[in-house]
Amino acid sequence: MPVESQKVKFATQADPQILGALRGMAQAEGRQLQALIDEALREYVERKQGSAPRRHVLSALDESLLQYDDLYRKLAK
Protein backbone atom coordinates (compact mmCIF):
# COMPACT_ATOMS: atom_id res chain seq x y z
CA MET A 1 0.00 0.00 0.00
CA PRO A 2 1.35 3.47 -0.85
CA VAL A 3 2.77 5.72 1.83
CA GLU A 4 0.17 8.13 3.17
CA SER A 5 0.62 11.60 1.76
CA GLN A 6 -0.78 14.82 3.08
CA LYS A 7 -4.55 14.95 2.69
CA VAL A 8 -6.49 17.84 1.18
CA LYS A 9 -9.93 18.45 2.57
CA PHE A 10 -12.76 19.00 0.11
CA ALA A 11 -16.54 18.91 0.21
CA THR A 12 -18.95 17.21 -2.16
CA GLN A 13 -22.37 15.64 -2.22
CA ALA A 14 -23.35 12.02 -2.75
CA ASP A 15 -26.45 9.99 -3.41
CA PRO A 16 -27.75 8.91 0.03
CA GLN A 17 -28.04 5.26 -1.03
CA ILE A 18 -24.49 5.13 -2.35
CA LEU A 19 -23.14 6.86 0.74
CA GLY A 20 -25.10 4.48 2.96
CA ALA A 21 -23.72 1.50 1.07
CA LEU A 22 -20.17 2.83 1.44
CA ARG A 23 -20.66 3.37 5.16
CA GLY A 24 -21.96 -0.18 5.50
CA MET A 25 -18.97 -1.57 3.61
CA ALA A 26 -16.56 0.44 5.74
CA GLN A 27 -18.16 -0.84 8.92
CA ALA A 28 -18.24 -4.44 7.68
CA GLU A 29 -14.57 -4.26 6.71
CA GLY A 30 -13.54 -2.47 9.90
CA ARG A 31 -12.21 0.46 7.89
CA GLN A 32 -12.82 4.17 7.92
CA LEU A 33 -15.14 5.66 5.30
CA GLN A 34 -12.29 7.91 4.14
CA ALA A 35 -10.14 4.86 3.35
CA LEU A 36 -12.86 3.44 1.09
CA ILE A 37 -13.33 6.77 -0.66
CA ASP A 38 -9.55 7.11 -1.21
CA GLU A 39 -9.45 3.60 -2.65
CA ALA A 40 -12.44 4.25 -4.92
CA LEU A 41 -11.00 7.53 -6.20
CA ARG A 42 -7.58 5.95 -6.81
CA GLU A 43 -9.08 3.04 -8.73
CA TYR A 44 -11.28 5.38 -10.76
CA VAL A 45 -8.32 7.53 -11.78
CA GLU A 46 -6.21 4.47 -12.63
CA ARG A 47 -9.02 3.01 -14.73
CA LYS A 48 -9.64 6.26 -16.61
CA GLN A 49 -5.96 6.91 -17.22
CA GLY A 50 -5.23 3.31 -18.07
CA SER A 51 -2.02 3.67 -16.09
CA ALA A 52 -2.16 0.51 -14.01
CA PRO A 53 -4.06 -2.75 -13.81
CA ARG A 54 -6.72 -2.82 -11.14
CA ARG A 55 -5.55 -4.31 -7.87
CA HIS A 56 -8.35 -6.84 -7.60
CA VAL A 57 -7.45 -8.16 -11.05
CA LEU A 58 -3.81 -8.60 -10.07
CA SER A 59 -4.85 -10.22 -6.81
CA ALA A 60 -7.09 -12.69 -8.65
CA LEU A 61 -4.24 -13.47 -11.04
CA ASP A 62 -1.86 -14.16 -8.15
CA GLU A 63 -4.38 -16.48 -6.49
CA SER A 64 -4.99 -18.29 -9.76
CA LEU A 65 -1.27 -18.78 -10.35
CA LEU A 66 -0.83 -20.21 -6.87
CA GLN A 67 -3.78 -22.57 -7.23
CA TYR A 68 -3.34 -23.71 -10.84
CA ASP A 69 0.39 -23.34 -11.49
CA ASP A 70 0.88 -27.00 -12.40
CA LEU A 71 -2.08 -26.96 -14.77
CA TYR A 72 -0.87 -23.78 -16.49
CA ARG A 73 2.57 -25.32 -16.97
CA LYS A 74 1.06 -28.45 -18.54
CA LEU A 75 -1.17 -26.40 -20.83
CA ALA A 76 1.78 -24.29 -21.96
CA LYS A 77 3.60 -27.37 -23.33
Alpha-carbon torsion 54, 60, 62, 64, what sign? Answer: negative
**How far are the Cα atoms of 11, 13, 31, 40 from residue 24, in angstroms, in the given order?**
21, 18, 10, 15
Confidence of residue 5 (pLDDT cuts 50, 70, 90): confident
At position 55, the amino acid (one-letter code) is R
DSSP state of 29: H
Model pLDDT for residues 7-62, shown as the tens digit of each residue: 899 999 999 999 999 999 999 999 999 999 999 998 888 888 886 677 788 888 89
Each domain of the chain, given as residue ranges in start order, spans: 16-76
pTM exceeding the 0.75 threshold for the entire prediction: no
